Amino acid sequence: MGRIIVTGAAGFIGSHTTDRLLAEGHAVLGVDNFRTGHRRNLAAALKQPLFSLVEADVSAEGVMDAQVKDFKPDGIIHLAALVSVQESIQDPQLNQLYNVTATERVVAAAVAHGVKRIVFASSAAIYGDTRDLPIAEDSAKKPISPYGDAKLASEVLLLRQTGPGLTVRCHRYFNVFGPRQDPASPYSGVISIFDRRYREGKPVTIYGNGGQTRDFISVHDVVRANVIAATAPRIASGAANICTGKATSLLDIVGIYGARYPAVPPPTFAAARPGDIVHSLGRPERAKAELNFIAQVPVQEGLAELIRVG
């Protein structure tokens, strides 16, 4: 069994990834500054003897170097980030710190101490507003936010370091959803916001006509991709979409929630958000070819789970 450092372990994707690694018998060191992560997400992990947690900032000088030197991981799953596109626009320097400098620290520590593998949370945001759907990995990369710029810059500086000793996998996540996703901000993932509103008995707001579609992928599939990339023998470095290849509209989602919560008033409609893209859909073939990864959770099933467990 391996030894893995998970940065951003207290976050939405990080905590599920940690749980899964522990269930498979790996030793995990979580690193999180708890800026947007929550200790409650690690309630189960903290009971496991194979789990340890360090409260520290990945972007701070010396932090990753010391942790990697001490823990001697086989791999690092780097998920710590400034996760809000909107916040990256409001505070580009903070975005630079958490989404670029932090990656530099991870790379430097990995190279200095001979870590064999890095898995990085990239994003479909690196493609920007492409109309060339479904999006393949070699599509034009024209990010439209500092967040997208930073994810792309991180990919470049990570993939530059690959060689016989270090395998890097960049996962371009599409719209991830599932339990523990934080609905706190208006710019949180739409499903987390809708889930909270229906639970509270309040109508959701749809920006636009609801016909916009996304490639929604369950966090459990994303976690499987992370664990494969971190632990599978003999994989090559590279970047791949982590998506389902299936489009779901907001009206489809509201239909599922409306049937489950018939007493909640119907959605209200508001003007489309400026800069919002109408359709986003990824091509999933490269992850299949390079990682043998195929998303397995249909959106209906993922939503049923979310409605059940919250």
Q: Which residue has the tokens 């400026």?
A: 274
Closest-by-Cβ residue to ligand UD1 is 125
Work out how close the CB of 204 gets to ligand UD1 at its nearest, in angstroms, rounded to a whole number. Answer: 6
Of 33 and 280, CB closest to ligand UD1 = 280
Work out how close the CB of 151 gets to ligand UD1 at its nearest, in angstroms, rounded to a whole number. Answer: 9
- Residue 74's identity, in one-letter code, is D
3-state secondary structure of 56: coil
Work out how close the CB of 118 gets to ligand UD1 at its nearest, in angstroms, rounded to a whole number. Answer: 21
Distances in Å between the Cα of 182 and the Cα atoms of 8, 83, 192, 194 are: 14, 11, 7, 12
Q: Which residue has the tokens 């995990």?
A: 28
Q: How far apart are CA 114 and CA 170, in angstroms?
A: 19
Of 125 and 150, CB closest to ligand UD1 = 125
- Could you confirm whether 198 is annotated as catalytic? no
Lookup: tokens for 78: 């780097």
Q: Which of 98, 147, 173, 198 is labelled catalytic?
A: 147
Of 63 and 193, CB closest to ligand UD1 = 193
What letter does residue 265 receive in the DSSP assignment? P
Q: How far apart are CA 97 and CA 35, in angstroms?
A: 13
Q: Give the orientation angle of helix 250-260 with respect to helix 190-199, to 10 degrees.
A: 20
Of 49 and 138, CB closest to ligand UD1 = 138
SS (H, E, C) 161-213: CCECCEEEEEEEECEEECCCCCCCCCCCCHHHHHHHHHHCCCCCEEECCCCCE
Residues that bind ligand UD1 (CB under 6 A): 85, 123-125, 148, 175, 187-190, 193, 205-207, 212, 214, 250, 273, 276, 280
Of 75 and 282, CB closest to ligand UD1 = 282
Please, which residues bridge with residue 51 across strands? 28
Work out how close the CB of 239 gets to ligand UD1 at its nearest, in angstroms, rounded to a whole number. Answer: 15
Q: How far apart are CA 195 and CA 217, in angstroms?
A: 16
Work out how close the CB of 175 gets to ligand UD1 at its nearest, in angstroms, rounded to a whole number. Answer: 5
Of 209 and 292, CB closest to ligand UD1 = 209
Q: How far apart are CA 267 and CA 251, in angstroms?
A: 9
The DSSP string of 211-247 is --EE-EEEHHHHHHHHHHHHH-SS---EEEEE--S--
Work out how close the CB of 50 gets to ligand UD1 at its nearest, in angstroms, rounded to a whole number. Answer: 30
User: Where in the sequence numbering do the catalytic residues fall?
Assistant: 147
